[in-house]
Amino acid sequence: MRPYSLAKPLLFHLPPETAHGWIHALLGGLQRTRALSAVANRYAVRDERLATRAFGQSFPNPVGVAAGFDKNAEIPRALAALGFGFVEVGGVTAEPQAGNPRPRLFRLPEDGGLINRMGLNNHGAEVIGERLRETSVDVPVGVNVAKSEHVNPEDAPADYVRTYDAVASGGDFFVVNISCPNSQGFEELQNRESMAAIVEALVDRGARPLLVKLSPDLPEPAVDDALDIVAEFDLDGVVATNTTTTRPASLRSPNRVEEGGLSGKPIEGPSTRMVQYVAERTDVPVVGVGGVSTAEDAYRKIRAGASAVQLYTGLVYRGPSIARDINHGLLELLDRDGFDSVEEAVGVDHD
Ligand SMILES: Cc1cc2nc3c(=O)[nH]c(=O)nc-3n(C[C@H](O)[C@H](O)[C@H](O)COP(=O)(O)O)c2cc1C
């Protein structure tokens, strides 16, 4: 039996945010010891066929940690040791934020999902920027840049730039988060004018590589608008997708009534369809995120056009060996289908 199978029932007895705090503390402790290299030896899958290049970054493998798991950039080295090929920290806002009152994170075990309305709780850009500058991580680290809670949409461009300035020298790439369903006014941020103003301000400031993260709830015309902006400002990539505010009829867990963004298995299909829609209409790399918990899930997103994938909810349900398991599984799937590398499989399912 794997250690996580033993720990999971205990962890799942705790409120989800408490369990997350324990895991975080454990990984934080681990990061300060020499045991980290032993962890990397156990979990990191080193194989050239998994190596991927996208938006100027070299990823040892295409499986990354999605934004929200390490909001304050406290454990990126531990996550790299668990075999993840990159880590996106944040969302980060200009000032520290407490987020919404607890409880604000809910498990939907019957559905393999989570609902969260964290509300972008984080230590603020100054502290996180400093932490990033002090930490050396041997995989690329992205920073998810979000709008501060009390800033009006018309002041959002300056607010994003302020946050970017504080973290700029600590990140390898930057993700404009205009799709967080738990921040006030997020719907307006995704309209064409608001998004263009935010992106233009960041590009003028020299924010590169710069990616934009989209909601799975965007109707096709709005996705097309977003892709026009990606082209107009020559952005470096698209992250698809964030959580959904919709509730599929198939959900069984009583927690489906909670407000917030739904992640995990229930959004795997919709987010893969969004990856494919985006990848078929743009030349920039797409990072696929939403419901990835097995090698098959990751492979579907890669074949749909994702250059790399990320996950959060899968880590909660499958535990610390998830990156290793997905990477081993990907190698088998590549072999089965006669591909020499992950890069060869990117987008093969396009029409
Ligand atoms: C508790 C929690 C917090 C999150 N916080 C952020 C965030 O701060 N910024 C962001 O862009 N996405 C955030 N996300 C969304 C994830 O990055 C990801 O896009 C989404 O959960 C879908 O992936 P998954 O199904 O693998 O979890 C969060 C997700 C969860 C579950």
Give me the CATH number covering residue 233.
Answer: 3.20.20.70
287 within a domain of the structure (yes/no): yes
pLDDT at 184: 64
**Atom 22 (ligand 1) nearest CA:** 290
Q: How far is the CA of 258 from the centre of ligand 1 (A)?
A: 16
Torsion of CA 310, 139, 284, 263, to 10 degrees: 10
Catalytic residue from among 65, 114, 168, 180: 180
HEC sequence for the chain? CCHHHHHHHHHCCCCHHHHHHHHHHHHHHHHCCCHHHHHHHHHCCCCHHHCEEECCEEECCCEEECCCCCCCCCCHHHHHHCCCCEEEEEEECCCCECCCCCCCEEEEHHHCEEEECCCCCECCHHHHHHHHHHCCCCCCEEEEECCCCCCCHHHHHHHHHHHHHHHHHHCCEEEEECCCCCCCCHHHHCCHHHHHHHHHHHHHCCCCCEEEEECCCCCHHHHHHHHHHHHHCCCCEEEECCCECCCCCCCCCHHHHCCCEEEEHHHHHHHHHHHHHHHCCCCCCEEEECCCCCHHHHHHHHHHCEEEEEECHHHHHHCCCHHHHHHHHHHHHHHHHCCCCHHHHCCCCCC
Percent above pLDDT 90 for the chain: 92
Report the predicted TM-score, pTM, of the whole model to 2 decimal places. 0.98
Confidence (pLDDT) at 3: 81
Ligand 1 center to 311 CA (angstroms): 8
Lookup: tokens for 209? 């590589």
Buried b (16+ CB within 10 A) or exposed e, 46-60: ebebbbbebbebebb
Structural domain includes residue 304: yes
- Report yes or no on 16 lying in a domain: yes
Distance CA 70, CA 132 (A): 12
CA of 67 to the centre of ligand 1 (A): 5
Count of structural domains within the chain? 1
Answer yes or no: is 351 within a domain: no
Mutation pick for ligand 1 pocket among 183, 263, 265, 317 (CB with most ligand atoms within 8 Å): 263
Ligand 1 closest atom vs CA 177: 11
Question: 328 in a domain, yes or no?
Answer: yes
Taking the CA of residue 66 as reference, the ligand 1 atom at the shortest distance is 17
CA dihedral 69, 72, 77, 82 (to 10 degrees): -10
In this structure, the residue with its CA closest to atom 15 of ligand 1 is: 242
SS3 track for 146-207: CCCCCCCHHHHHHHHHHHHHHHHHHCCEEEEECCCCCCCCHHHHCCHHHHHHHHHHHHHCCC
pLDDT digits (tens, 9 = 90+) for 250-298: 999 999 999 999 999 999 999 999 999 999 999 999 999 999 999 999 9
Residue 179 lies in a domain: yes
159 within a domain of the structure (yes/no): yes
Provide the pLDDT for residue 180: 76
Residue with CA at minimum distance from ligand 1 atom 23: 290
Query: What local confidence, expressed as pLDDT, does residue 176 receive?
Result: 97
Separation CA 12–CA 7 (nearest Å): 9
Give the pLDDT confidence score for residue 6 in this predicted structure: 87
Show the low-confidence residues of the chain (pLDDT under 70). Answer: 1, 183-185
Structure tokens at 334: 């590549």
State the closest ligand 1 atom to the C-alpha of 292, by its place in the atom list counted from 1: 26
For ligand 1, residues with CB inside 6 Å are 66-68, 71, 90-91, 105, 114, 116, 118, 120, 144, 177, 180, 213, 242-243, 263-264, 267, 289-292, 311-314
Task: Confirm whether 350 is domain-assigned.
Answer: no
Minimum-distance ligand 1 atom for the alpha carbon of 242: 19
Q: Whose C-alpha lies nearest to ligand 1, atom 21? A: 263
Told to judge if 122 belongs to the known catalytic residues of this protein, a careful annotator would answer: no
- For the four alpha carbons of 327, 329, 335 and 339, in that order, the dihedral sign comes to negative
Domain holding 154, by residue range, is: 3-345
Distance (angstroms) between ligand 1 centre and the Cα of 338 equals 33
**pLDDT for res 178:** 86
Task: Tell me which residue has its CA closest to atom 12 in ligand 1.
Answer: 67
For atom 1 of ligand 1, the residue with the nearest CA is 116
Query: Among 143, 243, 268, which residue has the most ligand 1 atoms within 8 Å of its CB, making it the best to mutate?
Result: 243
